């Protein structure tokens, strides 16, 4: 009994001497998390869930649309006809491949255009995420297609050159070709491609820039340039990103983030983006995706010759090195992309979670981070099941992020107090 009294006395003295510790120990992470999650209720939650869950089917239907587009080319010998027409104009194999790839890419863009209208414009408009007119959206699509028709044929020429030169082990060198083009795209995109779609300017001086610069200096992140871009002309979504490679790497935020969030929320998001930079996620992502590409190319190197041996005469495809085989590649890539989606989602989600942890440490804004996670529920289901999150989420869910921020608050904020935020706006869901 005496020992128990002494222990209670020591505990009371510790509570008086360290009130922050006592409050932190009493801070209920789950209750604090639930206080945020419960701000999204009724019609708003139903709308958020419906939008994101509908995306699960888009993954499947998108793969089927791509598969059927290529299957039609083979069924009606369109790829063979294109090859023959191009061969009549060019004698060199590389030029034949280039011309065939150009028309193949154009065919795919035209045939899948109705699907692109639904997924990229109509559906976004239905759920209140689209700020752009159809004409503006169409202009961006034409620009994106034109860019792809410049780079895609060049990459295909290099891959088919490798197939002709190394017919047995082409998949290894083809992976290197894809890696080169991915790195080239990452290098030039911020400087030459992104400005074709949005206007990029220096973030103006003020409290937001001062806070971002201070956070950057605390972690040795270059902060000479912080870019703001006008995404609001296209979408309602709040966003920021790390883009570029080597000398072109940069951190950018969109004007929706600047205009629709408070300073603590903006700081939390920008701390997350700095995490991507400091933790080297651009390079890590390129490496991991290259390994996946090698695996997919290896599988194609075994499956494609078997398909051509069985159906090649019917399709007008002679062998794998024949440029008319592009739709065979396309069908197999569509199937592979569908199968590896949970893997790629998980790999990206792990990086995002690491960046979340970094952002909490550098910004020290757990409630700002939680509020931002709730705002992202406009287009991301807030509280999925664990298997659902593992399969379909390429970022941690809102519930996961809020819980992480509240755990960080308990562990790092002396005297942590639970915040009860106001309910989120209950917009009525629009017809699907």
Q: Does position 18 have pLDDT exceeding 70, yes or no?
A: no
Q: How high is the pLDDT of residue 23? A: 46
| Host H or E run for residue 45 | helix 42-75
Rounding to the nearest 10 degrees, give the CA dihedral for residues 294, 194, 264, 30: -30
Percent of the chain with pLDDT over 70: 92
Three-class secondary structure of residue 59 per DSSP: helix
Q: How high is the pLDDT of residue 369? A: 97
pLDDT band of residue 425 (cuts 50, 70, 90) is low
DSSP state letters, 240-278: EEEE--GGG-EEEEEHHHHHHS-HHHHHHHHHHHHHHHH
Q: Does position 246 have pLDDT exceeding 50, yes or no?
A: yes
Q: How high is the pLDDT of residue 422? A: 87
Find the range with the poorest average confidence among 15-19, 244-248, 281-285. 15-19
pLDDT band of residue 11 (cuts 50, 70, 90) is very low
Q: What is the pLDDT of residues 88-128, one digit of tens each?
A: 999 899 999 999 999 999 999 999 999 999 999 999 999 99
The answer to whether the CB of 115 falls within 8 A of the CB of 62 is yes
The answer to whether the CB of 66 falls within 8 A of the CB of 112 is yes
Structural domains of the chain, with CATH:
32-185+282-412 (no CATH), 202-269 (3.30.2010.10)
Q: Does position 22 have pLDDT exceeding 60, yes or no?
A: no
Q: What is the pLDDT of residues 182-216, one digit of tens each?
A: 999 999 999 999 999 999 999 999 999 999 999 99
DSSP lists the bridge partners of residue 235 as: 130
Distance CA 233, CA 210 (A): 26
Nearest to 174 by CA among 286, 300, 285, 66: 300
| Host H or E run for residue 80 | helix 78-89
């Amino acid at each position: 009994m005496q020992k128990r009294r002494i222990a209670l006395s020591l505990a009371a003295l510790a509570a008086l001497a360290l009130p922050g510790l006592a409050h932190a120990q009493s801070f209920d992470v789950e209750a604090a998390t639930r206080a945020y999650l419960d701000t999204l209720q009724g019609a708003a939650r139903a709308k958020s869930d419906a939008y994101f869950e509908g995306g699960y089917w888009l993954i499947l239907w998108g793969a089927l649309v791509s598969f059927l587009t290529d299957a039609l080319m083979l069924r009606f010998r369109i790829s063979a006809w294109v090859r023959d027409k191009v061969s009549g104009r060019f004698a060199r194999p590389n030029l034949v491949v280039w011309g065939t790839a150009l028309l193949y890419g154009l065919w795919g863009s035209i045939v899948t255009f109705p699907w692109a209208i639904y997924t990229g414009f109509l559906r976004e408009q239905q759920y209140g995420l689209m700020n752009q007119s159809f004409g503006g959206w169409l202009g961006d699509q034409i620009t994106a297609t034109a860019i792809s028709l410049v780079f895609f044929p060049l990459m295909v020429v290099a891959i088919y050159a490798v197939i002709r030169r190394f017919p047995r082990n082409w998949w290894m060198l083809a992976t290197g070709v894809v890696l080169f083009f991915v790195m080239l795209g990452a290098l030039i995109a911020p400087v030459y491609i992104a400005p074709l779609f949005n206007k990029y300017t220096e973030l103006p001086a003020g409290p937001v820039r001062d806070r971002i610069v201070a956070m950057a200096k605390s972690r040795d992140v270059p902060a000479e340039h912080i870019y703001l871009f006008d995404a609001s002309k296209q979408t309602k979504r709040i966003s920021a990103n790390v883009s570029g490679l080597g000398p072109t790497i940069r951190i950018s935020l969109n004007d929706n983030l600047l205009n629709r969030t408070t300073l603590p929320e903006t700081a939390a998001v920008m701390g997350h983006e700095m995490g991507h930079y400091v933790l080297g996620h651009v390079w890590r992502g390129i490496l991991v995706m290259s390994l996946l590409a090698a695996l997919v190319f290896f599988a194609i190197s075994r499956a494609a010759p078997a398909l051509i041996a069985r159906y090649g005469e019917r399709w007008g495809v002679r062998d794998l090195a024949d440029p008319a085989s592009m739709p065979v590649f396309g069908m197999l890539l569509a199937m592979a992309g569908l199968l590896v989606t949970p893997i790629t989602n998980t790999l990206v989600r792990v990086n995002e979670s690491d960046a979340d942890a970094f952002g909490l440490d550098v910004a020290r804004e757990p409630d700002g981070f939680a509020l931002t996670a709730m705002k992202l529920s406009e287009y991301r289901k807030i509280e999925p099941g664990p298997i659902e999150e593992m399969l379909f989420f390429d970022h941690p869910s809102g519930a996961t992020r809020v819980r992480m921020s509240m755990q960080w608050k308990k562990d790092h904020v002396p005297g942590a107090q639970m915040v009860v935020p106001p309910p989120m706006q209950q917009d009525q869901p629009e017809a699907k």
